[in-house]
Chains A and B, each alone.
Chain A
Amino acid sequence: MRIADKMAFNQVNQNVGKNRSDMSDLQNQAATQKRINKPSDDPLSAARVLAARTEEHGNSQFIKNINNAKSFLEFSDQSLGELSDALVRAKELAISQSNDASGNAETRMVTASEIGQIYNQAVQIGNRKLGERYVFAGYKTQSAPFDHAGNYFGDDGDMKIQTNKDSFVAMNISGNKVFTGRGLDGDGVVRPRYETPTTVQEVQEFKQEEIDRLQKNEDVERNFLMTRGPAGEFEGNGKHKQDPVTGARGVNIFSVLKGLETSLKANDKVGVQETMDLLDQAISQVVLARSEVGSRVMSVNNTMDSLQKAIVDNKTTASQLEDADAFQVISDINKTDSTLKATLETSGKLIQPSLLDFLR
């Protein structure tokens, strides 16, 4: 083939240019430690890296949600713990005053005032706040759920917190369930559905359901008769007592304490004895609530573990997709460097000699 001068020059230009551009790419990879610096470097992986990032951001948000829910739940649990301690103390007092061997009119009067204190404590616990929110008020977190008479002003909203792509956990337990025993079961009170609506249609249905539910509950409340003891007949196989009229298991803790106080004041030994069963029921009601709270904590803890694992997995995935293999890059740089040098050296030789150089 006939070789014209321009061919030689073009060839040198192309080869040196290619080596330089390879070198620049590699240098870029070394500087950023990334294999993918723009989507076209590897379109499929770039899209997957983006997806992994979204996932990662979502997961870190879920971890924040969980931490928030956990502190709420733990605070509730702690409060319920105190409540159950108070009730146990009330039970002890009731036992000691339930017979004439250890109690008499005077001691009952003294004990009544302690029960009064326990009652106050129970109301206080019911009105506990975490930050600016009343923890036992359902959705009505901005106003105290209980007045001193033990009336409930909150609602039975479950504050659902997203803990993963499609799972929600309630981070609160509403006060009427724990303190007044409404809606535990059998008393006709309907609680809101457990599933969290996640679409517009579901939220519309949910809103309608809520309207119907509140209507129904109002009727139930209107016809509700607070009955207390003597329910010993119903105690069969060690199970909790039930309301003789409605068959419900819930008790109103405030009424129970109030009743105990009244019985003590009135030196009503039988009344005190009857209250002891109700106190048992109240304690197990609180324990039930605590176990519910505990199971939610456990569930978020489990989710937390899997989220943390997912975050690590995600980072690994993203890293595998986009990170440069440092060893590979450096060895490629060395290789390209020696290629470049060889190209420059041979190019010098290619361009240099011409017939003119020998015609002196």
Chain B
Amino acid sequence: MSKISAMMDTGKRSLMNSQTALQTVGHNIANKSTEGFSRQRVELLSNVPIGEGGLQIGMGARAGVVTRVNNPWLEKQIQKEGMTMGFEDSRADGLSRVEQIYNEQNNKGLNQYVTDFFNGFRELSNNPESLASRTMVRETAVGMVKDFGRVTSQLRGVQEDLDAQIKTTIGEVNEITKEIASLNEKIQTVEVSKVPANDERDRRDLLLKKLGDKIDITWAEGKDGMVSVTAGRTAILVSGTGASELKARQTDTRDRMEIFYQGTGTPANVTEQISGGRIGGALDVRDHVIEDLLGHIDNLAYTLATEVNKAHIEGFDRNGKTGVLFFEQPESVKGAAANISMNKTIFNDVSRIAAGSRADAPGDNTVANVISSLQYKQVMDGGTATMDDYYNTQVGQVGAMVQRAVKSQESQKNVINQLTNIRESISGVSLDEETTKMIEFQKTYDASARLIKTADEMFDTVLNLKRL
């Protein structure tokens, strides 16, 4: 009798095991497209056999544990590469926008405005007496001044956009760290009873990847199953079940977003520490690339204004008066491109443009020739480059930078794709596989039911022994 009931028991457990397994298959199928999901597997164990005389009788199987198929080292690698990916992505985006400012392939840019300006003086030299050619000098100067303004304001515009991006991203970082902290708690609660918190761990792995995409983090899992996350070198974002926030705001000293770590004490400026993820990329473009370019464009504007002024003041205007400054002399190199402007006196009265080297010589074009010759003089970089060379080199460098950024973005994308493929080949759900398993467990279920039925019939046989 005990054997028949044991048989029934075994069948029943097997039925339940199949259900559990099928449930897991269902869970896998349902999460086929869930980001960061790792397929799960029910570990079936054979039950402890019962010794009966000289025999060991198997007691069927039981569901041990539901594990996820996952390689934590790979996950960590993906997370790390994802950080680089985020950096490269945001850097390439920012740089491509910077590139547009310097793109003169299809429309007029600073290079041409500068050439026009000098051609204006060449035209003036052809006909220094004429008001028309003087007006042309003014118009070309205004055009060039405007374009210096355009380049700086567009560069600053990109910086402001990057500021906004940084601010938004910091907000997202704070949301993610909060969720990681709460997942820490859940995982700990679940795993206290030695049951793996598969879905929560998947979710937490995913969030760590997402966080790394945004900002450079280091993280480690403690013995209690909780991860602690540090951004940069010192900003501890998640510790146990608690999360600390980052804040982006302007300081009194600088009109750019700086990142502050809101720990327990006073907020600490951690901007300098952030060198990875999307924020790191944005900071790099904002604080290094664009600042450099602004410096160069300022340098160009300053040199141009100063050199033209130096020559212009040597001359005499149409009425024989000594020359005034052509441009308002910029006070410093910094900000020169944004502030360069024509001297109001000249702007209002083009006859004040000084073309000649002598008073009372309306046909004298000596100074106009000196100014137009400036275009071919090596006045930049300590007398090694002309203004054209200097600017064109900038354009070339921006182009090269963008090209390099886009290339490393692409190759990083390949790295990520490859790693993701490896991850999918381990943890990804295959419908074919799940279907096969489904059939397998369905058959097991059928067979177990058949076993119970057989046991039931055996009971019947035993119970009906007398009537037979």
A199 at the interface (CB under 8 A from B): yes
A64 at the interface (CB under 8 A from B): yes
B296 to chain A, nearest CB (A): 14
B175 at the interface (CB under 8 A from A): no
- From A51, A65, A166, A355, give the contact of B388 (CB < 8 A): A51
Q: Which residues of B contact A34 (CB under 8 A)?
A: 105
Q: Which residues of B contact A64 (CB under 8 A)?
A: 122-123, 126
- From A42, A161, A356, give the contact of B435 (CB < 8 A): A356
How far is A65 from B126 in the complex, measured between Cα atoms in Å? 6
State whether A4 and B373 are in contact (beta carbons under 8 Å apart), knowing that A46-B399, A53-B112, A354-B432 are contacts in the complex. Answer: no
CB pair B402–A196 under 8 Å, yes or no, is: no
CB pair B369–A2 under 8 Å, yes or no, is: no
State whether A132 and B311 are in contact (beta carbons under 8 Å apart), knowing that A54-B111, A57-B116, A355-B435 are contacts in the complex. Answer: no
A322 at the interface (CB under 8 A from B): yes
A200 at the interface (CB under 8 A from B): yes
The contact string, 1 if C-beta is below 8 Å from chain B, for chain A 183-207, is: 0000000000000111110111011
How far is A14 from B414 in the complex, measured between Cα atoms in Å? 10
A5 at the interface (CB under 8 A from B): yes
The contact string, 1 if C-beta is below 8 Å from chain A, for chain B 361-375, is: 111111101101101
The residue in A50, A139, A198 that gathers the most chain B C-beta atoms within 10 A of its C-beta is A50
Stretch at the interface among A118-126, A152-160, A232-240, A303-311: A152-160
B130 at the interface (CB under 8 A from A): yes
CB pair A32–B106 under 8 Å, yes or no, is: yes
CB pair B129–A39 under 8 Å, yes or no, is: no
A197 to chain B, nearest CB (A): 6
Q: Which residues of A contact B96 (CB under 8 A)?
A: 40
The contact string, 1 if C-beta is below 8 Å from chain A, for chain B 303-321, is: 0000100110011000000
CB pair A162–B425 under 8 Å, yes or no, is: no
B201 to chain A, nearest CB (A): 19
**Is the interface on chain A under 10, 10 to 19, 20 to 34, or 35 or more residues?**
35 or more
Q: Which residues of B contact A172 (CB under 8 A)?
A: 363
How far is A44 from B22 in the complex, measured between Cα atoms in Å? 62
State whether A159 and B365 are in contact (beta carbons under 8 Å apart), knowing that A6-B424, A43-B399, A51-B392 are contacts in the complex. Answer: yes
State whether A3 and B123 are in contact (beta carbons under 8 Å apart), knowing that A139-B364, A197-B366 are contacts in the complex. Answer: no
A344 to chain B, nearest CB (A): 20
A167 to chain B, nearest CB (A): 11
CB pair B369–A168 under 8 Å, yes or no, is: yes
CB pair A58–B115 under 8 Å, yes or no, is: yes
CB pair B429–A5 under 8 Å, yes or no, is: yes
CB pair B105–A46 under 8 Å, yes or no, is: yes
A102 at the interface (CB under 8 A from B): no
State whether A157 and B399 are in contact (beta carbons under 8 Å apart), knowing that A57-B116, A198-B369, A356-B435 are contacts in the complex. Answer: no
CB pair B116–A141 under 8 Å, yes or no, is: no
CB pair B370–A203 under 8 Å, yes or no, is: yes
B276 at the interface (CB under 8 A from A): no
Closest chain A residue to B127, Cβ basis = A68
CB pair A4–B399 under 8 Å, yes or no, is: no
CB pair B106–A160 under 8 Å, yes or no, is: no
A38 at the interface (CB under 8 A from B): yes
Stretch at the interface among B178-186, B209-217, B352-360: B352-360
CB pair A162–B430 under 8 Å, yes or no, is: no
Q: Which residues of B contact A142 (CB under 8 A)?
A: 129, 362-363
A315 at the interface (CB under 8 A from B): no
The contact string, 1 if C-beta is below 8 Å from chain B, for chain A 275-297, is: 00000000000000000000000
B residues contacting the other copy or chain, number (CB 8 A): 78
How far is A197 from B314 in the complex, measured between Cα atoms in Å? 12
CB pair B361–A160 under 8 Å, yes or no, is: no
Q: Which residues of A contact B377 (CB under 8 A)?
A: 198-199
CB pair B369–A138 under 8 Å, yes or no, is: no
CB pair A38–B310 under 8 Å, yes or no, is: no
Q: Which residues of B contact A133 (CB under 8 A)?
A: 127, 129, 363
- From A43, A57, A198, A356, give the contact of B431 (CB < 8 A): A356
State whether A39 and B417 are in contact (beta carbons under 8 Å apart), knowing that A139-B362, A157-B363, A168-B369 are contacts in the complex. Answer: no
State whether A50 and B370 are in contact (beta carbons under 8 Å apart), knowing that A43-B403, A65-B122, A166-B376 are contacts in the complex. Answer: no
State whether A210 and B103 are in contact (beta carbons under 8 Å apart), knowing that A44-B396, A46-B395, A46-B396 are contacts in the complex. Answer: no
The residue in B33, B373, B398 that gathers the most chain A C-beta atoms within 10 A of its C-beta is B373
Q: Which residues of B contact A356 (CB under 8 A)?
A: 431, 435
A225 at the interface (CB under 8 A from B): no
CB pair B362–A58 under 8 Å, yes or no, is: no
State whether A139 and B435 are in contact (beta carbons under 8 Å apart), knowing that A6-B33, A54-B111 are contacts in the complex. Answer: no
CB pair B126–A37 under 8 Å, yes or no, is: no
How far is A46 from B103 in the complex, measured between Cα atoms in Å? 9
CB pair A37–B421 under 8 Å, yes or no, is: no
How far is A199 from B431 in the complex, measured between Cα atoms in Å? 79
Q: Which residues of B contact A355 (CB under 8 A)?
A: 431-432, 435-436
A86 at the interface (CB under 8 A from B): no
CB pair B431–A47 under 8 Å, yes or no, is: no
How far is A61 from B32 in the complex, measured between Cα atoms in Å? 68
A7 at the interface (CB under 8 A from B): yes
Q: Which residues of A contact B104 (CB under 8 A)?
A: 50, 53
Q: Which residues of B contact A32 (CB under 8 A)?
A: 106
How far is A10 from B421 in the complex, measured between Cα atoms in Å? 8
B119 at the interface (CB under 8 A from A): yes
B100 at the interface (CB under 8 A from A): yes
CB pair B370–A57 under 8 Å, yes or no, is: no
How far is A322 from B106 in the complex, measured between Cα atoms in Å? 11
> Can you show 22 pairs from A to B with CB atoms below 8 A apart?
A5-B32, A5-B430, A39-B402, A43-B400, A43-B402, A46-B396, A47-B395, A47-B396, A51-B392, A54-B388, A54-B392, A61-B119, A65-B125, A65-B126, A137-B363, A138-B363, A140-B361, A162-B122, A197-B369, A198-B377, A203-B311, A359-B435
| 8 closest residue pairs by CB, A with B | A4-B428, A39-B399, A43-B399, A47-B396, A139-B361, A40-B402, A141-B363, A198-B373
13 new A-B contacts, CB < 8 A, other than A50-B104, A355-B436, are A2-B428, A7-B428, A10-B420, A37-B105, A37-B106, A61-B123, A68-B126, A139-B356, A157-B363, A160-B369, A161-B365, A198-B370, A355-B435
